[in-house]
Chains A and B, each alone.
Chain A
Amino acid sequence: MNFTLRIWRQKNAEAKGGMVSYSVSGVSADSSFFEMLDILNQQLVDEGAEPVCFDHDCREGICGTCSLYINGRPHGPVKGVTTCQLHMRSFADGETISIEPWRAKAFPIVRDLIVDRSALDRINQAGGYVSVNSGGVPDANSIPVRKADSDAAFDAAACIGCGACVAACANAAAMLFVGAKVSHLALLPQGKVEARERVLKMVECMDDLGFGGCSNTYACEAECPKGISVANIAMMNREFLSSAIRKEKSSPFTGGF
């Protein structure tokens, strides 16, 4: 298969970037998107040009390292997969494919298609953990958890933190990511203890980092490679409201009750 690629090239964080066109030919329909980019990069190296920089790691859809905004969609046109699991058979022969980095104020471009997504780590550092000494491995079922809760927590925990939700969102909001973390921990007894503090800290951190707010277009859910539901955003809103109101009530300023 042959493709024309329009790729965002940018030397470094400060440089002005732009779209550059390349053509690749003789690509197998069964090669992955990254194998296709590897072919392009080999071509560029042979010509003595700078190869295109992009993030990738496990190449099996579980690590959350890969990104790419392909033809106007994070992780490309196929639902429920990361870019590394996207294959060239999903495109038409001779197609022009545009490839851009994730765009958000909180995700500054490092180079070409690589963005710095450590903002998501900082949100997690603000509260996305359980701070108890867990000791040895507990016996199975020693803490009873409702099946429905454990299922919902597990679904939320499937988030790999790739940032596709932010990239897809019209407002570059990270609410699906934060919602998934908040719900995942708040649904389980181990995480419930700190649930109130957690949601307030994580939302505050998210706002401070310059992410936008949710306007319920649900593009995030449509593009999430792990199919995380926007029900998690509603749960975050619920947790946030009840925690914030309780905190206001119990602040020393109003006497506390």
Chain B
Amino acid sequence: MLLSSSIAGKVLMALAGLFLAVFLLVHLGINLLLLSSDGGRAFTAAAEFMATNPVIKIAEPVLFGGFLLHIFFGMMVSGQNRAARPVRYQESNSSETSFLSKYMFHTGIIVFLFLAMHLADFYLIKTGFIAPPEGIAQHDFYSRAMLLFSNRWYSFFYILSILVLGFHLNHAIQSAFQTLGLNHSRYTPALKLAGSAYAIVITVGFSLIPLWIAFIPLTRL
């Protein structure tokens, strides 16, 4: 009963999504350590802490579970939604809506592709599935990140993907609360602002790193 309903699918997607949103903040916090001019000591220490801490070790499968849950229910809900209108309109809809709210599935796909590439670049090297590039140790995330961001094309696509993620997040936060049934005449407008602010922090924060590395070149390294 609970799981087969349209609302339950949305609720699980929303809960997993909020969990991932919290994870992103932690991830950003660690990545921003790349900006400190200590040759990567702070960043490497944080990465090592994340790799060895037992609590994080337990959190890792939970995190993968969160991604799988969010993606699985996202696909399921999108499939049901498409099936609900088998014959489309001739004239495309021009109702007043925030433009990107209609494209959560599309932005989600792009974020997923980025995630796959990101996992290949870091996680699969860490776990030993993929050999690290020449001259970089398996657990040396710092040199790996610096090498990737020294490629302008990589940085460009990285920022582009983060931008798409930002659009996804901008609708996501208030949408998740609405799905969980939390809508209030006074707090919802504030929550919408907070959701957008969160999306901006994530987008600007993650984009800052490749820009920093591109424009404040390697003299400090």
Contact = CB atoms under 8 A, between A and B. Distances in A.
Interface of A: 6, 8, 19, 69, 71-74, 98, 100, 103-106, 168, 170-173, 200, 203-204, 206-207, 210-219, 222-223, 230-231, 233-241, 244-245, 247-248
B88 A237 contact: no
Main secondary structure of the interface of B (DSSP, over half): loop
Interface stretch (B2-10, B53-61, B134-142, B202-210): B2-10
A63 B116 CA distance: 52
Nearest to B6: A213
26 contacts: A72-B92, A103-B87, A103-B88, A172-B81, A172-B85, A173-B81, A173-B84, A203-B5, A203-B6, A203-B7, A207-B5, A210-B84, A212-B81, A215-B104, A216-B178, A217-B97, A217-B98, A217-B102, A219-B93, A222-B97, A230-B178, A236-B181, A237-B7, A237-B181, A239-B181, A245-B2
B131 interface: no
Contacts of B84: 104-106, 171-173, 210-212
B7 A213 contact: yes
B182 A219 contact: no
Given A212-B80, A237-B7, 17 more contacts: A72-B89, A72-B95, A73-B94, A73-B95, A105-B83, A105-B85, A170-B81, A172-B85, A203-B7, A213-B9, A215-B102, A219-B93, A222-B95, A233-B183, A237-B181, A241-B11, A248-B1
Contacts of A206: 6
Contacts of A172: 81, 84-85
A213 B10 contact: yes
Interface residues of B, number: 45
**Residue of A98, A172, A237, A240 contacting most chain B CB atoms (<10 Å):** A237
